[in-house]
Amino acid sequence: MIIVNLDVMMARRKTSLNDLSAKTGISVTNLSILKTNKAKAIRFSTLESACRALDCQPGDILEFREK
């Protein structure tokens, strides 16, 4: 199972969904879907934008866990 830790990185950077949306151009709705682990997929361009805005690596946002 892939876990999206976007909420953790946002909390570490003290960034809100609205701020991240403004920095990345990704809609608040799509960020919310990622943040709540309801996404079925993520584009590399989306991951790249989030990493750039949050100054982190993809591995800081995505995590693999055994079910």
3-state secondary structure 2-51: EEECHHHHHHHCCCCHHHHHHHHCCCHHHHHHHHCCCCCCCCHHHHHHHH
Enter the pTM of the model: 0.91
User: Average pLDDT in the 34-47 region?
Assistant: 95
- What is the pLDDT of the chain when averaged over all its residues? 96
Using CA atoms, how far apart are residues 13 and 55, in angstroms rounded to an integer? 9
* Structural domain range at position 40: 2-64
pLDDT of residue 67: 81
Using CA atoms, how far apart are residues 18 and 64, in angstroms rounded to an integer? 27
CATH number, domain of 15, equals 1.10.260.40
Structurally, how many domains does the chain consist of? 1
User: Average pLDDT in the 16-23 region?
Assistant: 97
